Amino acid sequence: MLLSTFFFSLMNVSVKLLPNIPSVEIVFFRSIISLIICLGFLIPARTRIFGNNKKLLLLRGLSGAMALILYFRLLQEIPLATTTTILFLSPIFASILGISFVNEKVAKVQWLFFLISFAGIIFIKGFDARIDLFYLVLGVSSSFFSGIAFNCIRKMNTSEHPLVIILYFPLVTLPIAGVWTYFAWEMPQGIEWIFILLVGIFTQLGQYYLTRSLQTDEISKVTSIRYVEIIFSLLIGYLFFSENFSLLVYVGMLLTLLGVVLNIWYKRTKLSIN
């Protein structure tokens, strides 16, 4: 999950360096690159390309597509660290949905930790004038779809090859993003083509390690590690995009991280006792 978080952070930079390209067009190119990479590995390995549980694979592809389109739009409009923090709601949705999807148990005290993290995000929204209700709704919606995708992956566990699961993202996304892109096309110029290629490569690496981690451990535990991404985002946002925040916004980010740290501490304590 740490490797996944690192590559997703590099993906974030690449997306923010494409402010003039519609988010759905970036997703379209990313899907083409992902499709080529997946088939390039799956065909020689003689793996069943279309997998076993097609319904779950399709749901994972559709939910992942919606999450990424909304996320890329958010990345282009608001500061990197703020986008990352809002998307930290995804583990909350993943854990809540995991109760019915994979019969995952969430202790009462963990709900308090989730609430602390959620309060931190609301705190940020209240003290950062760049975040209006529309962008908050985009972020919450993206997190919800990510929660569905996480649970689909966990539900399939080791029954599907990680690259087969990832393959369904471009299979579902290309028809949707292709039609959408046709009506919102902006021709990339010069170095923008390189950034588009990097988006595809970094996202593919991030998705691979994300899928492996979700297949091998509890959702609420591994997704919590993604909160480390806020550290990457703060550093990258400051160094590459000169992003700064008020003290109260930083307090909100600390509240979000506090909820995560407490949740990880609780999971480790519970595991050691058992």
pLDDT in tens, 137-181: 888 899 899 888 888 887 776 677 777 887 888 888 888 888 988
Question: Quick check: 65 and 207 in contact, CB under 8 A?
Answer: no
Coil, strand, or helix at residue 208?
helix
Amino acid sitting at position 119: A
pTM for this entry:
0.79
pLDDT at 271 > cutoff 60: no
79-91 pLDDT tens trace: 888 888 888 777 7
Chain segment 245-269, per-residue pLDDT in tens: 888 888 888 887 788 778 767 766 7
**Interval 214-237 mean pLDDT:** 72
Cβ atoms within 10 Å, residue 112:
13
Please give the Cα distance from 123 to 252 (Å, whole number).
5
Q: Could you read off the pLDDT of 79-135 as tens digits, one per residue?
A: 888 888 888 777 778 877 877 776 777 788 888 988 888 888 888 877 777 788 888
pLDDT at 187: 92
pLDDT at residue 217 in the model: 65
